[in-house]
Amino acid sequence: MPRLFVKVFLGFWATVIVVGIALVLSFVFTPNGSYLPWQDARSTAREVIREMDRHGPAAAARVLSRLERSQGLEACLYDDQGTPIAGNHCGTFSDGPMRGNMIPDRPNSSGMYRNMMRLPSANGKVYVLETQLPWGPRQIHHTVFEFALHWLVVLLVSSAICYLLTLRLTRPILRLGEASRQISEGNLQARVPPAVEARRDEFGDLARDFNTMAERIEDLLSSHRQLISDVSHELRSPLTRIQLAVDLVRKRGGDDPALSRVQADVERLEHLIARLLTVARVEAGAAAAKWERFDVNGLLAEIAADAQLEARQRECTVVFSEAGACIVMGDEHLLRSALENVVRNAVYYTSPGTEILITLTPGAAAAGGMMVLEVSDHGPGVPESELLSIFRPFYRVGNARDQQSGGAGLGLAIASRVVQLHRGTIVASNRPGGGLQVTIRLPLAQ
């Protein structure tokens, strides 16, 4: 259950319960006198005894009858020996005055209990009036069971009310959170549901603003992507035609070395366009990355097999030491292009006939571990002062990366962006025996 919901709910509930306890306590500790039926019973008793003193039992019986008519209360007057004197219901009060001026244990079936008052009259005689009183708050905690039942009802009712209140308050926030999480995970179509948008309060405002913002982001990204796609189309169409034209000229016997240069430049341009597009896609991809769990070990096995094909032309071998499954949370497509770039870079710069080593070590996943990937070549390496710069776009190391190398200096820049996007690190170092080692650390999926 969401934490906010729990907090607000408990807050509401605690308040209701505390207020409830305070109310009940104030009742329980109220002095007897303030409870009206008791007052009435006492004054009724005095009246009955006064009538008895002045006019005899018949007058007392009239008062009792009036009481019964007006309030529906039954009563009986006894003398101090327990002999009934007046009242219509003395028979039902059979246990009578023997029990003294006591509050009885239980109410009868109509919710009344009996009360006995022993009072002296003005002329010194003592009478006992037994009467009914409504069941009052003094009897609230009568048995443990009733006490528990009572509180259970209070808890249930108050929790239901608090639940509904809390739901009404926190639901829009949760919906908003859900939408923004989906957008950050790459689902740009995610919106706050119309139910929240339709609210006429600050939540409604927030939801509408959020949706407007999400729409703008989606528009911007899709027009950005459209632009990339258009540019690539517009640039590549003429390149295709140039290649065809050059080929036609060649085919017709024009074997000028200049043609080879045109050909090489066309290829270089295409290479550059492809890399630039990848950079643009990585940038846009950061916002639209599709996050899912996948196995880096399997991905690397594929990349290594591909790199082996490429390496064979230079009589090199790619050695991949596997590590078993290495599950990472990320965008497989982006990570593939990142790791591919690092491995191809190594294949490119290693000396002919040497090995490229790819080593994968999984960390302990439980401790929020990182997997460590090392890609080493046996090439010229990179001057120590330039180890950081090689991750910058278009950076070229003075000694090794001349025009002949064909690379546009974007491969490692792409890799670095993608690794950062996955909250990992990428570091280059020179191996003791010569050659460059690129170390990539990526957090393992929980």
Partner 1 sequence: MNAESTVERILIIDDDTALCELLIERLQDDEFVTEAVHDGVRGLERARSGEHGLVVLDLMLPGLNGIEVLRQLRHTSDVPVLILTARDEDVERILGLEIGADDYLAKPFNPRELIARIRAILRRSLRASGEERPLKAGDLQLNPSTREAFLGQKPLPLTSVEFSLLETLLHEAGRTVSREHLTETVLGRELRPFDRVIDVHVSNLRRKLGNERIKTVRGTGYLLVARPAPR
278 binding partner 1? (CB under 8 A)? yes
Q: In whole angstroms, how close is the CB of 349 to partner 1 at the nearest point?
A: 16
Q: In whole angstroms, how close is the CB of 310 to partner 1 at the nearest point?
A: 4
359 binding partner 1? (CB under 8 A)? no
* Stretch of 12-20, 35-43, 167-175, 297-305 lying at the interface with partner 1 (CB under 8 A): 297-305
- Out of 218, 306, 355, 374, name the contact with partner 1 by CB under 8 A: 306
Give bridge partners of residue 113 from the DSSP assignment: 133
Give bridge partners of residue 116 from the DSSP assignment: 130
304, 340, 338: which is closest to 442 by C-alpha? 338
- Out of 6, 28, 149, 274, name the contact with partner 1 by CB under 8 A: 274
Residue 146 or 230 with smaller CB distance to partner 1: 230
Question: How far is residue 362's CA from residue 373's CA, in Å, rounded to a whole number?
Answer: 9
251 binding partner 1? (CB under 8 A)? yes
Query: How many CA atoms within 13 Å lie on the side-chain side of 276?
Result: 13
Q: What amino acid occupies position 18?
A: V
284 binding partner 1? (CB under 8 A)? no
* String of DSSP letters for 255-273: --HHHHHHHHHHHHHHHHH
φ/ψ (deg, to 5) at 409: 70, 30
Question: How far is residue 52's CA from residue 86's CA, in Å, rounded to a whole number?
Answer: 9
Helices (H) and strands (E) in the chain, counts: 10, 11
Six-digit token pair at 155? 């808890």
Residue 307 or 418 with smaller CB distance to partner 1: 307
- Out of 88, 222, 237, 351, name the contact with partner 1 by CB under 8 A: 237
* Stretch of 24-32, 144-152, 253-261, 277-285 lying at the interface with partner 1 (CB under 8 A): 277-285
CB atoms within 10 A of CB 338: 29
* String of DSSP letters for 16-64: HHHHHHHHHHHHHTS-GGGSHHHHHHHHHHHHHHHHHHHH-HHHHHHHH
From 55, 141, 224, 233, active-site residue: 233
- Out of 266, 323, 400, 445, name the contact with partner 1 by CB under 8 A: 266
Encoded one letter per residue, x for contact with partner 1 by CB under 8 A and - for no contact, window 318-347 reads: --x------------x------x---x---
Residue 167 or 245 with smaller CB distance to partner 1: 245
233 binding partner 1? (CB under 8 A)? yes
Six-digit token pair at 206? 């927030």
Q: Which residue has the tokens 């094909």?
A: 309
Length of the chain equals 446
Q: In whole angstroms, how close is the CB of 232 to partner 1 at the nearest point?
A: 5
236 binding partner 1? (CB under 8 A)? yes
Six-digit token pair at 434? 């010569």
Residue 242 or 327 with smaller CB distance to partner 1: 242
243 binding partner 1? (CB under 8 A)? yes
- Catalytic residue check, 141: no
Task: Name the H helices within 83-201.
Answer: 144-184, 194-197
239 binding partner 1? (CB under 8 A)? yes
305 binding partner 1? (CB under 8 A)? yes
Cα-trace Rg, the chain: 46
Question: How far is residue 423's CA from residue 418's CA, in Å, rounded to a whole number?
Answer: 9
* Stretch of 104-112, 158-166, 276-284, 387-395 lying at the interface with partner 1 (CB under 8 A): 276-284
φ/ψ (deg, to 5) at 190: -65, 135
Helix%, strand%, coil% for the chain, nearest 5:
55, 15, 30
40 binding partner 1? (CB under 8 A)? no
Residue 243 or 430 with smaller CB distance to partner 1: 243
* Stretch of 1-9, 303-311, 400-408, 424-432 lying at the interface with partner 1 (CB under 8 A): 303-311
288, 274, 363, 374: which is closest to 333 by C-alpha? 288
307 binding partner 1? (CB under 8 A)? yes
Q: Is there a contact between 325 and 295 (Cβ–Cβ < 8 Å)?
A: yes
- Out of 228, 262, 284, 365, name the contact with partner 1 by CB under 8 A: 228
47 binding partner 1? (CB under 8 A)? no
Known catalytic residues are 233
Q: Which residues bind partner 1 (CB under 8 A)?
A: 228-229, 232-233, 236-237, 239-245, 247-248, 251, 266, 270, 274, 277-278, 281, 298, 301-302, 304-307, 309-310, 320, 333, 340, 344
